[in-house]
Amino acid sequence: VLVTRAMVDEAMNALQGHCDLDVYTGPPEAIGRDEFLKRAKDKDGLLTMVSDRVDAELLDAAGPQLKIVANHAVGYDNIDVAECTRRGILVANTPDVLTEATADLAWSLILACVRRVAEGDRFLRTGTPWIWGPKMMLGHDLYGRTLGIVGHGRIGQATARRATGFGMRVIHNSRSGGVSFDTLIAESDVVSIHAPLTPETRHLFNANVFRQMKPTAVLVNTARGPLVDEAALASALRAGEIFAAGLDVFEREPEVEKSLLDLDNVTLLPHLGSATAETRAAMGLFAVENLLNGVTGKRPRGLVNPEVIDS
Ligand code: 8YV
- Averaged pLDDT, 49-77: 98
Q: Cα of 51 to ligand 1 centre, how many Å? A: 9
Q: Give me the CATH code for the 2-95+276-310 domain, please.
A: 3.40.50.720
- Averaged pLDDT, 298-302: 98
Could you give the C-alpha distances from 166 to 40, 57, 141, 254, in angstroms and in order?
48, 48, 10, 33
- Tens-place pLDDT, residues 195-234: 999 999 999 999 999 999 999 999 999 999 999 999 999 9
pLDDT of residue 51: 94
**How confident is residue 28, by pLDDT bands cut at 50, 70 and 90?**
confident
Q: Look at residue 117 and tell me whether its pLDDT is greater than 90.
A: yes
- Between 29 and 230, the more confident residue is 230
- Tens-place pLDDT, residues 246-279: 999 999 999 999 999 999 999 999 999 999 999 9
pLDDT of residue 163: 98
CATH architecture of 99-268: 3-Layer(aba) Sandwich (3.40)
Return the percentage of the chain with pLDDT > 90, whole number: 97
- What positions carry a catalytic annotation? 224, 253, 271
- Averaged pLDDT, 61-80: 98
Q: Cα of 95 to ligand 1 centre, how many Å? A: 10
Q: Same CATH topology for 2-95+276-310 and 99-268?
A: yes
- Name which of 104, 94, 80, 75 is nearest 8 in CA terms: 94
Degrees (nearest 5) of the Cα angle 28, 33, 37? 120
**How confident is residue 281, by pLDDT bands cut at 50, 70 and 90?**
very high
Q: What is the mean pLDDT of the chain?
A: 97
Q: Look at residue 4 and tell me whether its pLDDT is greater than 90.
A: yes
Ligand 1 pocket mutation, candidates 7, 74, 278, criterion most atoms within 8 A of CB: 74
- Rg over alpha carbons for the chain, rounded to the nearest Å, is 21
pLDDT of residue 164: 97
Nearest ligand 1 atom to alpha carbon 102:
9
The protein residue whose alpha carbon is closest to atom 10 in ligand 1 is: 73
**How confident is residue 114, by pLDDT bands cut at 50, 70 and 90?**
very high
- Listed by start position, the domains of the chain span 2-95+276-310, 99-268
Q: Look at residue 27 and tell me whether its pLDDT is greater than 90.
A: no
pLDDT of residue 311: 80
Burial 96-111 (b: 16+ CB within 10 A, else e): ebbbbbbbbbbbbbbb
